[in-house]
Structure formats: structure tokens, C-alpha cells
Structure 1
Amino acid sequence: MVHDQQSHSGQSSIRKRIYSPLFLVFLFILPVLGCPLWGQSGQKKQLTAEDYPLWGQLSMDKIAPNEEWVSYTMSYTEDRDTLFVRNVANHTSYSFPAGDKSAFTKDIFFVCQSKDTVQIVNLETGKKEILAGVSAYCYSFQNNLVLLLLASAENKRSLIIRSPSGKTLAEISDVIQYSLSPNGNHLVYTTSRKNGNAVSIINLATLKMATLITKATAANDYNHFTWHKDSKAVTFYSQSKMNLIDGLWLYTIANTKLWQLDPSNESSFPTTATIVDNPRYKMIISDDLEKVFFSIKEKTIPIAEKTNSKVEIWNANDKWIYPEEQQYGKFEEQPKITLWQPKNGHVTRITSTELPSIMLSGNQQYAFLSNPKSYEPQFDFQGPRDYYIQNLNTFENKLFLSKQSSFYQDIIPSPNGKYIAYFRDQDWWVYDIKHNTHTNLTIKTGVSFSGKVHALESDSVFGCPAWSKEDKEIILYDEFDIWAIKADGSNCTRLTQGRESKISFRLADNPKKGKWNLLLDGIQLDALNLENDLLLRAEGDDGKTGYFKWTKGIGVQPLRYTDSFINGLNYEAEKQKLFCVEQRFDLPPRILSIDNSSEAAKIVFQSNAQQQNYYWGKSELILFQNSKKENLKGILYYPAHYDPQKKYPLIVSIYEMQSKELHWYTKPTLFNESGFNQTVFTTHDYFVFLPDIMHEDENVGPSTLDCVTSATLKVIDSGLINPDKIALMGHSFGGYETAFIANLSPLFATAIASGAILDLTSYYLTVGWNTTKPDMWRFASEELRMGHKTPFANRSDFDRNAPLTSIEKLKIPLLLWSGKQDTQVDWRQSVEYYLALRRLGKKNSMLLYPKENHILSNPINQKDLSERVLQWLDYYLKDDTTAAWITNGIEK
């Protein structure tokens, strides 16, 4: 059935200083009061490059447990980044230059670190304690303790356990390293003793210590502490003086049991292998504490052919081409995931050369194994695979899914381990592990669960963000809505009604977690309780964004949803107040506090308040149609200090779908990675336009020309701009589009194409050195949309879409630029095009930046490029001929 849910002990010798409240007021309150309040009126001035360093980038940090304080960072291009703490009600503020690793305590303190200094501030009194010589610190919220690792002059380190207010509860000498459990109740640490290193653990609630290991012989170190996800156990390696891992240990908290795996004494451990630290796959303790997953590697790898030559052999029958095999292949040499069962001591190798890739079921009772080369060679970005399921108790192995997409969002285990969901043939399916059955879940819903999601890609899955408790329902996205579908397919419920209003609803990101929680080669999803309220993020087709609250039986209610870009939701456990960041093109990012019950919002902090003193542009959503009457959108940015009596030059910047950036704020700077900054351009008296482009399969070039022509004519018809002074620019794929259009359109006075694909045939036959794959996949399934056509069998299709084919028709000055270490689009594409233009006598210049990749990272080069782009635009759109490098290089 398909349903819609309708809306209805001893003092330490820490080097420290105490600042008085009066000093803190001077340091932290006066700078805040000195800032002009947002919205004050006054004479505005024109923004210049000398003013740009005043602008910073706001990043939300943390929320205090009582929801009365918020921390955030302001980052500056030409100045030191600063961490701030601000009171939500009275806006009292404290600043910490270069502050990092922050924590609000359980009571009234704030802690952060800057290099080797930890600062602790009493947020009520303003007293600040500065602790020097701290190499690391952590905070246990559960026990309200600050743990400091101090380095002495003798290079010995002590671990101090203290309260935030300053009372030292314990001091442990000669500590090498430590690790705090996820719940903050236990701390495991190593110490250096005369008779050998030791591993100990301390219960932070009772401060009771226990020594787990004291070993005076082979082991030199114990490291890589890895905790059980619920803090029930910890595992770690022992390492010899030769830096070889010679043992694996597991300590379980409840029964204080220590288990050891000694490879030399365990008959099931492969004699030809050794334990290794695998940066890609960290150790894992299973939920039931019965299994530890770790990596082993063969001690010696057979060499097929000995030679003194460093020749690279690229064979025609290789599954992967040489660079990809060197980077990601050589499965026989890669570490193998191995299972240790501490209770019986047995060790079993799980992955193999034949099946090197592994996902785990949510309860870690099964492994899903595959080989990335199953169907290679093929010419998409990654090929399908056959998936095998292995019971990790009996170690039986069987094929359960053939030729399945291996995209990480297309195959996802359920949290409780009962199912694995996969997207196939335009539907979501589940495989029931216990019953060995496959069920199509979405065939009866009547909607599509795939579509346009990622830039430059054709259709992909909208997403599977979670399951409900006990794996009862899978949570899925369509284009607009969130669905809860029973695992047996018996019931489908649409939780939101976004389709009717063209609002896309998604689960809001959890601020305490990353976007994806990876478990080996798979995704580990959260389990939602659908009896509780859910926080949702929403994006409307009209450019509005914000957050909603979903309640069972009621539906969605807006918390804040308006004509701005709202993101960065943050909250504490009680969720009485919700915090987010709001911005528009003409409104610098600001932190808002939203009352979860009344939905009232208030400004906590407004960044870049100095903007009110300057003329500023605005952004506007433009609607247009291409020649096929398809509805499209674009963003038009107005010049700062716009005068309706004037006609302005226009910069058209192209890529693909850009209208979602309608309300994005861009700080003014000359340190731009691609030379483009719409704020800088608007403060130089330019209109800037970013039109959406709908690409046609096998006809990308002409369809781009059609959309951009229609969009530009729409802006010309508005009467705002000078139709003779329009520039076109784009980077990467946008550079390709720019070069193609510049050859064929009479609308533009000049163009800038950077990092561009210009010769489709040579690009088809290029290795993408950042992916180590042939770039043919970009034609098959990404931006160039040729399917599996080739330049050999389908020459006319390649010629019709290639800028190089129509280069003789170029009539306007063209600026090219590339980084000479570009691993995404070969910089020789630009050289090839430059040489063709030179041979044809066309007006052009090319800028090549040594030691730069696809975008520029060196600030000197960023500034140089930004200034030259402005000079180029001023030269051809404002008749400002003062740039000698253009006059001497092209026009003389």
C-alpha cells in the first residue's frame, strides 16, 4: 500500500596565567562594541581592493549544553583566523586567535587550544586561564574533566586530570599517548617505564586505575587504540623495536578481560603474513564484542619478472590501465581484512586477491565481498560487480547479486544487519539475508527515485539516508519527498508533501556526525525513531531554503524557510534552541537562534558588519526558456550602486545548473582559484549572469549554445545592459562550453576559457592523472554525454560538439589559461588551441601557471589571475586599454 502522511590529587606544575574580568572586557567586549551595528544608515562608499582584507569567512563551531553560548570561527585570507565564543542573549564575546579544538564544558567553562597552549574561560565571570606546554588535550563531558598532556623541559610528558575550574584530581607521569572512550568514561594510555612500556586504563568516574600490560621484553610500544562504538571495549597493537606489529589486544570493560593475539603462538594465523596498520581500513570491534577486524599482509610478494629496467608495461589485455593498477590494483600485494575471534583465538582471512573489497552488515555478522575488476575493461567511471555474502560465523560464501552498480550510494547495508538495500533497474530493492530473498520496494510508488543530483552527471539515485529502528522501514528520497517503506514492501508512506509545492525535503545533517559514516568499503546508516520529531532541510524551486520539523501525525512545520540560503544546522541534546547560518548575496552570513517551540528567530552574530558602509549589489532569479520551450533559471547579479539610467556591461559565466547559488554570499577577494568572483565584478560596475544549462545527450555543444543564447537574449531584453559589451567566461567544463559558444555566437565581445576541454578526440584518448583512468568515462556517463560512442565510429558526433572543429569561425578576442600541472584537464589542450588560433591569426592570449593544478592554489598566482581577468574584461567591455600586456600582446 502507498500512503501520504497528511500534514495536520596533588597540585600540578602547569605554567599558567589568570586574567581578571576587567582585562577580558577590555580584550573582548570593546572590539565587539566598536563594530557598527548592522542596519545603521550612513554615507556609503565604493569598495576597493584595499578593503577586501576586512572580509572573513564565518564557520559555525559548537553550541553550549545550556544553549546559552555559541562558538564560531572567522577565517581571513590575509590575517590570522580567530575563534569566538558569544552569548546568545546579551552578545558578550570572547576571542581566541588561532583557537582550535574547542569544547563547552558541562557547566560554565569553554576550552580551546592554540598550538601548545590551552585556554579555559569561565563564561560567567570572564576569568581566563592559560596553560602553556600542552601537547594535547581532551574533554570528558560525561565526567566534566579536562585531560592535559604536558611536555616538560626534560621532554617527559605528564597527564593531568583536572576539573575545568582548576582542581587537579590526578597526575600521571611518563605518558606517551592516550585515547578517550567515545562516552568519556574511560581513558586508556601508555607509559614509558624503565622495565618497559605499560598500558593502563582509568575509570574517569571513580579515578580508579588498572594496569593492563607491563612488558619488559620485545614490545616497544602499544598504539592505534580503537574503541568499540559504544565504549564497551578497546583494541590496540603491540609493536616491536623494529616497528613490526607483533600482537593484537582486546580489553573488554564490563568483565575487565584482556585478550591477546600472538601470531607466533596462534596456529590459525597465516605463517606467511604479518599484522599491518592499514590507513584505509582501521580496526573494528563488532557490536557483540565477539570479533575484531584487522589487516594482515604477506611478508614477501612473489616478483613475476626481475629486471633492472624501470619500464612501464601497458598490456592490451590488462583489466585496468597501468597507472590505475599501480594506484588501486595489485590486489595480491594489498593488505587483507582478517577476523580474530578472541574467545577461541581463531583467525580467519576474509578478503582475498579474488575478492579484495568488503562491506559489513550492520551487526558485523556478514561480509559482502566483491572485485572492482569483475567486468573490466569497461569505459564508465567504475564498472558493476558481482557481490558475494559470507557468514562470519560459519564462513560460508555465496553469490547473492550479479552485475550490480558499485556506486557507494547504490548498495547499502541496513543498521541492524537484516538486509542490504540496492538500487537497480530504476527501483530500490532489499535482499533479506536470513531468507535469501530479493524484494522490489518502490515499483508500486508511481514516482522515480533517481534523477539529476550531481553536477555534470546524468541521472543517479536521490538517496537512502537511514532506516527506522530494528530495520523495519527503509528511508528513501525521491526528487522532492521522504519515504518510509516497509522492508518487505508491504507498505509505503510518503512522510512529506514537497512535490505539490516543489520543495525538496531531506533529513538535516547531524552536527555531531559527518555526512557519511563509512565502515570499510560501505556506508553505515543511522536508525531513526519515527515516533520522534525529525529535523528536515528544505530547498524550494523558487530559491527559498530553510529548515522544517516533521512530527508523526502532523507532518512538516517550518522553523525558518525564506528567501535566503540557510544551512549549518546545529543543536544540543534538548533541542530547545536550534542554530543555523543564514546568508544572501547582499547579506553576509549570520548565526541565527531559532526557538524550537515558537519558531521565533533572533540574530546571534552578524559577520562582516562593515559591509553596510559600502555599496553592494543584489541577486535576482531570472526565468527563461530555451528554443524547445523548456523552463530554465539563472541568477542575475546587479552592480553595486546600480543606476537605472545607465547601461552596464555584462559578464555571463557558465557551467551547468547554477541557480541554486542564488543566495550564496561571496566575500570580495583577489585570491580566487579560478579568477572569478561575482562580488568583485559587481563592485566594478558589471552585471553578472549565471544561467542554467540543460544538456542534450550526444548534442552537448549545440544545446549549450541554445540555452546560453536564450538566457543572454532574455537579459538583453530587460534593457539593463549594453548589448555590445557582453563577455562570456567559464572554467573546466565551463571552459569547454565557453570556447564552443565563442566560435559560433555573435552575442559576445570577448571570452575567457580556462582549464578547458577543447579537442574532444585527444581528450577522449587522455589519461586523467587525478583518477588514473582513461577520460573516456567522461564521455560515457558524465558531462560530454556521448554514451558509448567513439571518435572512430562516430566522428561526426565528436566534430559537431568540439570547439576545435569550429575554431576558424572565432571572431572575438579569447583568453585561455591553465595550470601546468593540471591533472584533471591536460593543460596541453590549451596549448593546442592556442597554437591553432595563432596559426589562424586569431586574437588570443594564453596564461600558463607553473606548479598549479586545475585550480590555482598559490596566492601569488591567484591574485595575478584575478587582476588579469579584470584587466581583460575592462579592456574589451569598458574600452580601458591601460593593460600593456593586452595591447602589446594582441592589439598592436
Structure 2
Amino acid sequence: LTDRDDRDNEAPDFALYVATDGEASARASLGTTGLPSGWAPSDEGSVSFSESGQRVFFGTTDAPEPEPEDETPEDERVVVDIWNWKDPYLQPMQLLQRSQEEDRTYQAVLDLQSGRVVQLATEGIPSVSVADRGDGSVALGTSNLEYRQLVSWDGRYSDAYVIDVEDGSTRQVAEMIRGQARLSPGGKYVTWWDGFETAWFAVEVESGQKTNLTENLGVPVHDILDDHPDALRSYGSAGWTEGDRAFIVYDRFDAWALDPSGRAAPRNLTEGVGRQSDVRFRVIDLDPDEPYVPTDSDVYLTAFHLYTKASGVYRDRFDGNTAPERLVMDDVRFAAIRKAESADVILYERSTFEEFPDVWVADADFAGARKVTDANPQQDEYLWGTAELVEWTSTDGIPLQGILYKPEGFDASQEYPMMVYFYERNSDGLHSYTVPAAGSSSINRSSYVSRGYLLFVPDIPYAIGYPGESALDAVVPGVLGL
């Protein structure tokens, strides 16, 4: 992008140039066929290529007008905020987002082979993503313009549209979605989570047919422990298999392959092993450049035991004939798992409350693991402490878990001051490492334990509308049972 042809103007217009063999030529500018009247490329937008390099995406907006010169003395200028109760956003949010809105651009695309320019995003449909890493024939457009006012008392909604990348024509495929619509990698389906119906939905782009993908699954795909007075959260999705043939979602334990057309029955990819063993499986994305989850090669899974809080890594193959194989499982936290591009070497972080998350390496079977960093040796100079999982029953009979942090060298025959931090559920973080730091809204575990405090962090299941009573029913018997 450059304004070299118009740089002498007070508000110069930018143009998109393409250089080939050292020769550069303007391919999109003010007045180019395919751009709205009065629109031009904007230096506020980003420029990117599609995966094949045959398309260039760039941002456009109304050609800027020169700002009128204000001759009023600065000490006499008055700043007034004008707003209306019917505004889409409240005035404080308008002021907060003012610069973002002033710099907003709308995505357009240049086809390098034909030279055709197509405006994809518009003021009515401001957000656009193109299928097949930018090379697809369709794009997904979303717009929240009709529902912005609802943010103040309800939630975030949007409409979804399919956009023809060849001519910019649009077709609405979903209305008032509570959540984020996504386009499948091949551009055949649009999917989204509905937290009110607690279901995953898909729309076939070609036919417009809408399908409830999880209607006949038989197990919940919403977070059964989510006790917020709002639309329920899903357990998430892992993406798609090759050719958009199956959409992969999670229940509390396992991964499922769903036919986006709704014709084939759901298939449990992890063979129900997660539910049988109280282990939560999630797919590890070892190749961010690969848009699909493979079904003909090994897939690595994170594993987390919901009750012991142990974690590890399993290996599976989503071909319908293989059960997950345990590679490693331990009372630690595994994170940031990566595989070397051209070698059978795994890189990962391992930590506990006491053990800093250093980097480890192992082979593809997680054998021969060894630590390769020592990033926090200064911890040896400080008292630290331990973290212990505790269990009890709430006043209303619910089995609960929590974490009891103990000072280093804890002696059960001695008395210690104890603090209780109570907020939602935290026991899954038993093996999380806490860097000592000052905190504003939550307590820093390691800081207080290092100073000789016992720290109790109980899980709290909330009854909607009764947060105080719920906390009392969970915390008091937990404290008394220590």
C-alpha cells in the first residue's frame, strides 16, 4: 500500500500495488471497479496473501476527507459528547471504541490472475473470513449491528452470511446466533454453538439446510458444572476431518465425530475410554498449518483425570479401530506440547505448584524424557510450600474438592494462620505453578504460603440466585473438616 501518487494532497488516497519481477503497478485504488463508490484501499488495514498466493486481501474504507481547520483558540474549545438512549452502544463504550471505529476497514480481495477486485466486507457485514485459507469460493460474513444494544442487558448476538468470493453477493444462513459462527475449512458448512438449546448446529452452505448435530448424541456437550445465570458453555470442538466430512466436538470426557449433514450416527472417536476412566481427552494441535484433524495417522491427546487431577498424554488414531494409548500420566501439569517438524521429538512444559514449568523433551512415545531448561533457579533461595487435594461434603450433601496449600516444612503438631480464598471452582489447578506477585482481585498462592500461611481454596457449586448461601454451604464444612 502506498500513497505515492497522491501524497501531495492533504488527505491522500492509498493504492494497492503488486510487484512482479521488479515491476510494480497499481491494482486497486479509488474508483477501481469492484470497490464501492468513493472507497479506496486504507493504510489502516492489513495486506495478506491466500495460501496459494493467487489472492491478495486488503482493507478498504471511505476515501478520507480533509479535516476542517479549527481556528478557535484551544482554551475556548468545548468538547461535548452527544448521545441518545437508542444508540447501539452506551456512551462510555462508544468513547472506548471510538478510535477502533474510526480506523475500521472492510476486507476486499484482488484476484491476481484475472485482476478482478471484489469487496467482501461492508458496513452492514463488517467481519469476513474466507474458506480454504483464503483460496475458497465462499466466505463467512458476520454482523452484530442489529443486536448491539442487547449487549447492555442480554448478550452478544450476530447474523451469519455466506459471501460469494467471485462477485461479493451475500446470502443469510443464520439469524441471531448467540456465539461465534465458523466456516468449515473447505467452505461447505457453517457451525455454531447455541448455549440456550445446548446444542451444536450446522448449515450446509450450498442448500441452506440447518441441522442440530448433537440432538441424538445421548450425552451432554454443555458444561454440566457451569452455574452462571447465562447461556451454557460448550465443552468445545477440535475442528474438522478431511473434506469437511465430520465435525469433531467434545463431551465432558471424550471426542465425537458428527456428520454435518445429520445423516450418519455420531461416532465416539476415543471409544468411550474417557468416560470409563474419568479422564478428559482433548486433541493436541501439533501442526497449526494443517486445517484438518487426521484420521489416517496418529493423533495426540491431552489427558486430565477429573478427580485425581493427574494429567498426561495419550495417542490415538481416529479410524474407528483404535482405542487411546496412554503414553504418560503423572501428578503434574503438562502444557505447550509441540512436535518437531522433521523428527520424532516432543517438546513440552511440565510443572506442579512446587516445580517451575521448565521445558522437557522426549521421543514420540514420551520415553527418555529429560529436562532441558532451568529457568527459575532463584526459587531455591525461598521457602515455597506444597499443594494438597482435599475432599469433603457440603452442607447440602454435594461431594466437593479443594486445594490446601501448606508452608514448607509444615508440622501438623503446630498452629498456623489460615486464609480461605473462595471463588467458583479452582481444584483443577492443583498442579498450576504460581509466580509470586502482587494481586489486586485474587490471592497469590505462593506469596502467602511462603510467608507461613495455610491457604484453603475450596470449590463452590452455586445455586443461581443464591451465591452467598451457596458459598456458605460449601466453605464452612470444608474449613471444619481440615
**2:390 counterpart (604, 622, 646):** 622
Shift of 1:341: 3.3
Cα 1:605/1:286, change in 2 over 3 Å? closer
Cα distance change of structure 1 residues 349 and 453 upon mapping to structure 2, 3 Å threshold: farther
Distance 2:336 2:18 in 1: 38
1:470/1:257 Cα in 2 relative to 1: closer, same or farther (>3 Å)? farther
Question: Cα–Cα, structure 1 residues 257 and 401, in superposed 2: closer, same or farther, change >3 Å?
Answer: farther
The 2-side partners of 1:252 and 1:477 are apart by 47
CA contact (8 A) 1:571 1:579 kept: yes
SS in 1 for 2:478: helix
Once residues 328 and 588 of structure 1 are traced to their aligned partners in structure 2, the CA distance between those partners, rounded to angstroms, is: 39
Match of 2:218 in 1: 446
Residue identity in the other structure for 1:276:
S
Match of 1:665 among 429, 433, 451: 433
2:227–2:461 contact (8 Å) kept in structure 1: no
SS in 2 for 1:526: coil
Q: CA deviation at 1:561?
A: 1.1
**Aligned residue for 2:88?**
319
Match in the other structure for 1:46: none
Aligned partner of 1:543 in structure 2 is 309
In the TM superposition, residue 396 of structure 1 has moved relative to its aligned partner by 2.8
| Residue of 115, 140, 154 corresponding to 1:368 | 140
Shift of 1:373: 2.6
Whole-angstrom CA distance in 2 between matches of 1:445 and 1:321: 41
The match for 1:569 is 337
Alpha-carbon shift at residue 674 of structure 1 (Å)? 5.5
The counterpart of 2:174, out of the listed 397, 401, 424, is 401
Equivalent position amino acid for 2:131 in 1? S
Instruction: Tell me if structure 2 keeps the 8 A contact 1:453–1:460.
Output: no
User: How large is the Cα RMSD of the aligned pairs?
Assistant: 3.3
Report the Cα distance in structure 2 between the residues aligned to 1:248 and 1:302, rounded to whole angstroms: 21
Whole-angstrom CA distance in 2 between matches of 1:262 and 1:355:
21
C-alpha change, 1:299 and 1:579, in structure 2 (3 Å) is closer
Find out whether 1:416 has 2:186 as its counterpart: yes
The 5 A counterparts of 1:106-145 are: none
Residues in 2 aligned to 1:328 and 1:677: alpha-carbon distance in whole angstroms: 32
Are 1:501 and 2:274 matched, yes or no?
Answer: no
Question: 1:8-45: per-residue Cα shift (whole Å, max 9, x none)?
Answer: xxxxxxxxxxxxxxxxxxxxxxxxxxxxxxxxxxxxxx
Q: What's the counterpart of residue 299 of structure 1?
A: 63
Residue equivalent to 2:200 = 428
Matched, 1:347 2:128: no
Please show how residues 747-758 of structure 1 align to structure 2 within 5 Å.
none
The equivalent of 2:265 in structure 1 is 491
Q: What is the CA-CA distance between 1:635 and the residue it aligns to?
A: 0.3
Q: Which residue does the alignment assign to 1:139?
A: none
Counterpart of 2:298 in structure 1 is 533
Q: 1:662 to 1:376 in 2, by over 3 A?
A: same
SS at structure 1 position matched to 2:41: strand
In the TM superposition, what whole-angstrom CA distance separates every residue of 1:233-291 from its partner, at most 9, and x where no partner exists?
xxxx23425595642134579xx997641526735544522321235xx2343456554
The answer to whether the 8 Å contact 1:274/1:296 transfers is yes
In the alignment, the residues of structure 2 paired with residue 589 and residue 290 of structure 1 have an alpha-carbon distance, to the nearest angstrom, of: 43
Contact 2:30–2:38 (CA under 8 A) maintained in structure 1: no
Q: Which residue does 1:69 correspond to in 2?
A: none
Deviation track 1:719-768 (CA, whole Å, cap 9, x = no partner) reads xxxxxxxxxxxxxxxxxxxxxxxxxxxxxxxxxxxxxxxxxxxxxxxxxx
Residue deviations 1:467-492 (CA, integer Å, cap 9, x gap): 11111111111111111222323132
| 1:599 lines up with 2:363 in the alignment | no
What letter is aligned with 1:335? T
More moved, 325-334 vs 345-354:
325-334
Percent identity (aligned): 23
Paired residues for 1:31-42 under 5 Å: none
1:581 — aligned with what? 349
- The 5 Å alignment of 1:719-734 reads none
**CA drift at 1:376:** 4.0
TM-score (norm 1): 0.47
C-alpha change, 1:332 and 1:398, in structure 2 (3 Å) is farther
Counterpart of 1:412 in structure 2: which amino acid? R
Could you tell me which residue of structure 2 aligns to residue 719 of structure 1?
none
Q: In the alignment, what sits opposite 1:27?
A: none
> Counterparts of 1:559 and 1:273 in 2: how far apart (Å)?
57
From 381, 404, 410, the equivalent of 1:636 is 404
**Letter matched to residue 58 of structure 2:** F
Equivalent residue, structure 1, for 2:44: 278
Cα distance, 1:688 vs structure 2: 0.9
Q: 2:477 aligns with which of 703, 710, 717?
A: 710
- Tell me the amino acid that sits aligned with residue 418 of structure 1: K
> Structure 1, residues 346-399: CA drift from partner, whole Å, max 9, x if none?
433332222223233334422333331313422456432222222122433222
Moved runs in structure 1, 4+ residues, more than 6 A? 256-259, 329-333, 453-457
RCO greater where, 1 or 2, for CA within 8 Å and sep 6 or more?
1
Larger radius of gyration: 1
Counterparts of residues 722-801 of structure 1 (less than 5 Å): none
| Bigger mean CA deviation after superposition, 453-462 or 377-386 | 453-462
Equivalent residue for 1:466? 239
Provide the C-alpha distance between the structure 2 equivalents of 1:382 and 1:615, rounded to a whole number of angstroms: 46
Shift of 1:646: 1.1
Q: Give, in whole Å, the separation in 1 of the partners of 2:103 and 2:376.
A: 53
Q: TM-score, normalised by structure 2?
A: 0.84
Match of 2:446 in 1: 679
- Match of residue 377 from structure 1: 149
Secondary structure class of the residue paired with 2:324: strand
Q: Distance in 1 between matches of 2:153 and 2:260?
A: 31
Aligned-pair distance for 1:533?
0.4
Q: Does 1:387 align with 2:160?
A: yes
- Larger proportion of strand: 1
Cα contact 1:268–1:347 (8 A) shared by 2: yes
Return the letter of the residue paired with 1:416. Answer: G
What residue number does 1:67 align with?
none
Is the 2:31–2:40 Cα contact (8 Å) retained in structure 1?
no
Query: Counterparts of 1:332 and 1:613 in 2: how far apart (Å)?
Result: 52
Note if 1:479 corresponds to 2:241. Answer: no
Cα distance in 2 between the residues matched to 1:348 and 1:453: 46
* Paired letter, 2:313: Y
Displacement after TM superposition at 1:650 (Å): 0.8
Please give the per-residue CA displacement for 1:660-713, whole angstroms capped at 9, x wherever unaligned: 22112234x465556833333223322111111111211112212222222212
Distance in 2 of aligned mates of 1:277 and 1:654: 48
How far apart, in 1, do the equivalents of 2:358 and 2:207 lie?
A: 52
Q: What is the number of equivalent residue pairs in this alignment?
A: 458
Which one-letter code corresponds to 2:188 in the other structure? K
The answer for the alignment partner of 1:755 in structure 2 is none
Counterpart in 2 of 1:698? 465
Aligned with 2:237: secondary structure? coil
Shift of 1:401: 0.8
In the alignment, the residues of structure 1 paired with residue 363 and residue 446 of structure 2 have an alpha-carbon distance, to the nearest angstrom, of 33
Which string of whole-angstrom CA distances, capped at 9 and with x for unpartnered residues, describes residues 53-77 of structure 1? xxxxxxxxxxxxxxxxxxxxxxxxx
Contact 2:253 2:281 in 1 (8 A): yes
Alpha carbons of structure 1 residues 661 and 617: separation in structure 2 relative to 1, 3 Å: same
1:653 maps to what in 2?
421
Separation (CA, whole Å) in 1 of partners of 2:302 and 2:257: 17
Matches within 5 A, 1:55-94: none
CA contact (8 A) 1:666 1:677 kept: yes
Look up the SS of the partner of 1:374 in the other structure: helix
C-alpha deviation, 1:338, in angstroms: 2.2
Amino acid paired to 1:690:
V
Q: Which residue identity does 1:498 align to in structure 2?
A: G
CA deviations on 1:808-833 (whole Å, 9 max, x unpaired) are xxxxxxxxxxxxxxxxxxxxxxxxxx
1:238 and 2:2 matched? yes
